[in-house]
Amino acid sequence: MNKKGFTLIELIATIVIMALILIMVMPAITALVNNNKDKAYEYYGDSIIEATEIFVGREKEDITSLGTLNFTGCVDINYSDLINTDLIKPYSDDKIDCSNAKVRYTKERNKESYSINLTCRDTTTNEVVYSINEIPNTTCIVTAY
């Protein structure tokens, strides 16, 4: 009798053990993949904010209708402004649209801040795949000082 092979019981036991391991590991793998997708959107949002910082630095006093750097208040910068000035490229996935992004530049006398609204949608299903909304629903007002 040849004893170099596996018995049917050993093969079934091996398959069952592998299936149990797969069942235990699969949720972690799925979570990891989803987390990586969110990280890509977060990094894209960060690059939009960095592009807005460059945009504000370039525009200087033209950032507002006041024509001065001495102002307080906020200015909304649209995604299209950043695309048109070649500071940002559209999101790299053809099936995802993030073009409704907006960054609010807020300036006080000694402090500047940036906040972002970014919603990315699947163009085939129109489903929101990522959303971050840091900008309150208020109108921006700038005043010179």
Q: Which residues contact 117 (CB under 8 A, 6 or more apart)?
A: 100, 101, 102, 103, 104, 132, 133, 134, 135
- Given a contact cutoff of 8 angstroms between Cβ atoms, the answer to whether 51 and 88 are in contact is yes
Mean pLDDT, residues 52-73 taken together = 90
What CA–CA distance (Å, rounded) separates 116 from 107? 15
Quick: pLDDT tens for 66-125.
888 889 999 999 999 999 999 999 998 889 999 999 999 999 988 999 999 999 999 999
Q: What's 104's DSSP letter? A: E
C-alpha closest to that of 139 among 78, 81, 73: 73
